[in-house]
């Protein structure tokens, strides 16, 4: 109990510092602190609820390719080849019509691919990238990223609702913050490497050629800097990751 009180005090202090205002509403600040503390204990169901709302917010602000689009038809083919390795979580694929090069997945099975990435890569390369993004979900990386994004959004914006229904109390601005954080999530070197290996293993299990995962990283390595995508801020670097995949292909493991 003492630890919880101390944590709450620290979170409230952090919220006050972020607010930059001396006339802080104590009730709102307390609620913000409670939301930040809640972030560390979000259940799987609550994580998926946050993802449902954050993904819907992203979809509402994007231009989505219709079912008749060649992009959607191509993605449907790729999705069928990959199958669904997420036990108990249906995967929902859509294409965002934008020149940006990115793809992301959320804990609720929301997977979004940018048309710019599909223009850059062939089907096998897109399969490798999506295997990687799904890997972040399957390995729990997205859950941790969602908890972190939820906590930051709560600390920056005092909640308007009281009680324990903190997930339901998310504002549109908070959902926007969380969604953007997940779209551009930065993962650790070990998480990125684990997701690469997950994609390799998934492709191999599904009988999909493995080379596309390596050549996808080759293409990312050749692109110029300054892109606003987590794909260009990866650690280890894209070429090192391509080399790792080729080593696994050569070893047969």
pLDDT digits (tens, 9 = 90+) for 39-69: 767 888 999 999 999 999 999 999 999 999 9
- The pTM (predicted TM-score) of the whole model is 0.81
Residue 128: C-alpha distances to residues 22, 116, 139, 143, 245 (Å): 50, 16, 16, 21, 11
pLDDT digits (tens, 9 = 90+) for 100-134: 999 999 999 999 999 999 999 999 999 999 999 99
Top-ranked range on mean pLDDT: pick from 5-9, 137-141, 144-148: 137-141
Beta bridge partners of 80: none
How far from the centroid of its chain's Cα atoms is residue 194's Cα?
Answer: 15
Tell me what the mean pLDDT of segment 181-191 comes to.
91
Residue with more model confidence, 6 or 55: 55
- Give rounded-to-5 percent helix, strand, coil for the chain: 65, 5, 30
Of 118, 87, 100, nearest to 58 (Cα)?
Answer: 100
Tell me what the mean pLDDT of segment 225-239 comes to.
65
Residue with more model confidence, 42 or 162: 42
The catalytic residues are: 133
Instruction: Tell me the two tokens of residue 120.
Output: 């850059």
pLDDT digits (tens, 9 = 90+) for 81-107: 999 999 999 999 999 999 999 999 999
Q: Which pLDDT score, from 0 to 100, does residue 238 have?
A: 87
């Amino acid at each position: 109990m003492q630890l919880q009180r101390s944590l709450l005090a620290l979170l409230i202090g952090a919220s006050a510092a972020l607010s930059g205002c001396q006339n802080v509403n104590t009730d709102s600040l307390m609620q913000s602190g409670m939301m930040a503390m809640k972030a560390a204990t979000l259940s799987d169901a609550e994580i998926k609820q946050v993802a449902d709302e954050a993904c819907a917010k992203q979809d509402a602000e994007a231009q989505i390719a219709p079912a008749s689009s060649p992009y959607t038809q191509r993605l449907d083919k790729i999705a069928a080849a990959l199958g669904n390795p997420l036990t108990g979580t249906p995967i929902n694929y859509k294409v965002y019509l934008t020149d940006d090069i990115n793809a992301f997945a959320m804990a609720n099975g929301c997977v979004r691919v940018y048309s710019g990435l599909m223009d850059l890569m062939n089907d096998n390369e897109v399969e490798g990238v999506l295997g990687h993004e799904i890997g972040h979900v399957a390995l729990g990386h997205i859950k941790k990223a969602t908890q972190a994004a939820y906590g930051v959004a709560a600390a920056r914006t005092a909640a308007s609702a009281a009680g324990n229904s903190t997930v339901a109390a998310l504002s549109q601005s908070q959902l926007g913050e969380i969604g953007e954080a997940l779209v551009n999530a930065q993962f650790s070197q070990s998480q990125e490497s684990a997701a690469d290996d997950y994609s390799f293993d998934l492709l191999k299990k599904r009988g999909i050629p493995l080379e596309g995962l390596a050549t996808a990283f080759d293409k990312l390595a050749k692109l110029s800097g300054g892109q606003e995508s987590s794909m260009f801020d990866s650690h280890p670097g894209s070429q090192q990751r391509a080399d790792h995949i080729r080593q696994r292909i050569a070893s047969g493991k």
